[in-house]
């Protein structure tokens, strides 16, 4: 009996996480530490990947992290994670972080990163994930660019499956 491949929409696994920058999240200058932001982004990406795969997923790689604008103590950080492509056992998740001061509705870009997650089974072995069905032009563009990033990473000996 042939297994039917299930396609899921990117919007079905979109994840939004919100944090407040507290003193213990900052460096001596009162700025959000990059490592703390990456930790928050990784959690949002994990929720997105696991929601898509409907399986436990682990971080395999962070392809790129860009920091754009510093966040300060008291700023509200909103992190949005979206799946860009599902491969065989791995998924690329783009994560964007935005900040805003409590008294100001103007948001600013804090950072952006691409995470690769691998789904694992009960034996801690890589296992297949649902295919992705991008529906908007932006999603189709991200879908294609994810393949290009994968091919570039494979040239650099990073492994996707």
Q: What is the pLDDT of residue 156?
A: 72
pLDDT above 80: residue 62: yes
The domain segmentation of the chain, as residue ranges, is 7-155
Tens of pLDDT along 89-136? 999 999 999 999 999 889 999 999 999 999 999 999 999 999 999 999
Bigger pLDDT: 28 vs 2:
28
Tens of pLDDT along 117-126? 999 999 999 9
Q: What is the pLDDT of residue 2?
A: 54
Q: What is the pLDDT of residue 110?
A: 98
CATH 3.10.129.10 fits 7-155, yes or no: yes
Q: Please, are residues 84 and 63 in contact by the beta-carbon 8 Å criterion?
A: no
Of 86, 89, 82, which is closest to residue 131 (Cα–Cα)? 86
């Amino acid at each position: 009996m042939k297994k039917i491949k299930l396609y899921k929409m990117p919007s079905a696994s979109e994840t939004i996480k919100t944090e407040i920058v507290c003193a213990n999240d900052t460096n001596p200058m009162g700025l959000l530490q990059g490592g703390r932001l990456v930790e928050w982004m990784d959690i949002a990406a994990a929720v997105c990947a696991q929601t898509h795969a409907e399986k436990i997923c682990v971080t395999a790689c962070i392809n790129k992290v860009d920091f754009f604008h510093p966040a300060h103590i008291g700023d509200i950080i909103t992190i949005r994670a979206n799946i860009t492509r599902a491969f065989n056992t791995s998924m690329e998740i783009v994560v964007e972080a935005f900040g805003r001061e409590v008294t100001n509705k103007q948001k600013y870009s804090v950072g952006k990163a691409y995470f690769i997650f691998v789904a694992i089974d009960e034996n801690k072995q890589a296992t297949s994930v649902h295919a992705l069905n991008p529906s908007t032009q932006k999603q189709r563009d991200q879908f294609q660019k994810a393949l290009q990033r994968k091919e570039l990473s494979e040239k650099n000996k990073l492994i996707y499956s």
